[in-house]
């Protein structure tokens, strides 16, 4: 009897999740009305722990399934029951992921939610953006040897309090704090700076982050915790929050974090000669900081597992309503231009 109740409940939840996935209005209702309560409960459970509860759950589940399959094989248990129980567990994890956080992938798009007009590409507008961006990047430069994490936490949370209502984000609560990754060396090997733990609403930061990267990455991952799934939007909000800070190191972190995305857009959109001319307008100090950052992460990167992770994450994003996949990160430039022309 319990088995049928369990499977009936699971089937109902799966159908509900799939319906919401196909209705942006329903996903928006979830993001604004249901997710704040769900995230509040889950983050309250996980926040007292100094380690990532979600990482423990994920890695523990992987190990647990492998042990269970080996045990079933050694004991010659029915493979029908073994597979059935494994599939059921994975389906419960699937439901938990989407009900806890994942349905944010299917909410209304940025332009619908903010009622900002989408502007088609204009070379004149883009070049104007490039010029203004480069001036601000150069002017914001300051050497960042170390950062005060408590100050960053306060600045970022205050910044999100100011913009949360405008962009449909959950307001941050005081007890939220970043967690270290359970396997940071593995994450550095695939170039991951941070990620949200969706099962217990945690945000995990890589201990290998350079000081200049810490403020923006903190703010980027905070955006995910506040109900944003789009990487481009998380970049946008991280930038808006950090670039408005009165702390020079936090402000430079924002402008500096956008540089690889601006470079990518400029490379694709400008003639080669114009691109090279624009690059010359970036100050030598910023160029050195950027090259040092690239060299630092290349020394930690493992091409084999990095390429595998890139492929898997690209597939994951595309299957969750982010059609551009990993290219979504670079779409922050279009969003920023839309916000600035409002």
Whole-angstrom Cα distance, residue 193 to residue 214? 9
3-state secondary structure 207-260: CCCCCCCHHHHHHHHHHHHCCCCCHHHHHHHHHHHHHCCCCHHHHHHHHHHHHH
**Is the pLDDT reported for residue 284 higher than 90?**
yes
- Are the C-beta atoms of residues 198 and 54 closer than 8 Å to each other? yes
Q: What is the DSSP letter of 340?
A: H
User: Which helix H or strand E contains 179, and what residues bound it?
Assistant: strand 179-180
What 3-state DSSP class applies to 102? Answer: helix
37-69 pLDDT, tens digit per residue, is 999 999 999 999 999 999 999 999 999 999 999
Whole-angstrom Cα distance, residue 87 to residue 246? 51
Assigned token pair, 293: 């950052």
**Is the pLDDT reported for residue 214 higher than 80?**
yes
**Is the pLDDT reported for residue 306 higher than 60?**
yes
What residues are paired with 196 via a beta bridge?
Answer: 203
- Residue carrying the six token digits 């936490």: 153
User: How would you list the strands of the sheet with 179-180, edge to edge?
Assistant: 179-180, 202-205, 194-197
Other CB atoms within 10 A of residue 242 CB: 28
Furthest-apart CA atoms within the chain: distance in Å: 72
Average of pLDDT values for 98-108? 95
**Is the pLDDT reported for residue 175 higher than 70?**
yes
The predicted pLDDT at position 145 comes to 92
Average of pLDDT values for 233-262? 96
Listed residue (289, 256, 337, 321) closest to 107, CA to CA = 321
What residues are paired with 202 via a beta bridge?
Answer: 197
Could you tell me the pLDDT band of residue 74, with boundaries at 50, 70 and 90? Answer: confident
- Are the C-beta atoms of residues 123 and 252 closer than 8 Å to each other? no
Cα separation values, 223 from 4, 159, 234, 251, Å? 39, 11, 5, 17
R_g of the chain computed on alpha carbons? 22
User: Which helix H or strand E contains 194, and what residues bound it?
Assistant: strand 194-197
What 3-state DSSP class applies to 204? Answer: strand
Could you tell me the pLDDT band of residue 326, with boundaries at 50, 70 and 90? Answer: low
Mean pLDDT is lowest, of 73-77, 92-96, 177-181, 186-190, for 73-77
Could you tell me the pLDDT band of residue 316, with boundaries at 50, 70 and 90? Answer: confident
Whole-angstrom Cα distance, residue 6 to residue 237? 40
How many C-alpha atoms does 45 have within 13 Å on its Cβ side?
A: 13
217-229 pLDDT, tens digit per residue, is 999 999 999 999 9
The answer, as to whether pTM is greater than 0.85, is yes
Burial annotation 270-285 (CB, 10 A radius, 16+ → b, else e): beeeeeeebeeebeee
């Amino acid at each position: 009897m319990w088995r049928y109740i369990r499977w009936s409940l699971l089937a109902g939840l799966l159908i509900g999740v799939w319906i919401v996935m196909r209705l942006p209005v329903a996903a928006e209702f979830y993001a604004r009305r249901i997710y704040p309560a769900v995230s509040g409960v889950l983050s309250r459970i996980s926040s007292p722990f100094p380690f990532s509860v979600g990482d423990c759950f994920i890695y523990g589940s992987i190990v647990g399934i492998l042990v269970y399959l080996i045990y079933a094989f050694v004991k010659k248990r029915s493979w029908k029951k073994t597979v059935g129980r494994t599939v059921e567990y994975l389906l419960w994890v699937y439901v938990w992921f989407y009900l806890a956080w994942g349905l944010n992938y299917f909410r209304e798009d940025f332009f619908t939610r903010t009622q900002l007009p989408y502007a088609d590409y204009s070379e004149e507008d883009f070049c104007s953006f490039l010029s203004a961006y480069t001036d601000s990047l150069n002017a914001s430069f300051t050497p960042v040897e170390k950062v005060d994490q408590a100050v960053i936490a306060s600045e970022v949370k205050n910044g999100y309090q100011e913009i949360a209502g405008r962009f449909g984000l959950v307001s941050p609560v005081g007890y939220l704090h970043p967690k270290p990754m359970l396997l940071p060396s593995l994450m550095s090997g695939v170039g991951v700076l941070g990620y949200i733990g969706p099962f217990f609403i945690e945000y995990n930061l890589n201990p290998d982050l350079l000081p200049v990267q810490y403020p923006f990455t903190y703010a980027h991952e905070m955006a995910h915790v506040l109900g944003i799934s789009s990487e481009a939007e998380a970049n946008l909000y991280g930038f808006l929050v950090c670039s408005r800070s009165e702390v020079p190191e936090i402000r430079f972190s924002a402008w500096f974090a956008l540089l690889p995305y601006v470079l990518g857009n400029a490379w694709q959109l400008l003639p080669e000669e114009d691109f090279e001319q624009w690059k010359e307008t970036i100050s030598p100090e910023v160029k050195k900081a950027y090259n040092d950052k690239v060299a630092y992460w290349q020394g930690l990167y493992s091409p084999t597992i990095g390429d595998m992770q890139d492929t898997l994450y690209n597939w994951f994003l595309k299957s969750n309503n982010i059609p551009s996949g990993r290219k979504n990160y670079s779409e922050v430039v279009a969003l920023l231009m839309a916000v600035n022309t409002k």
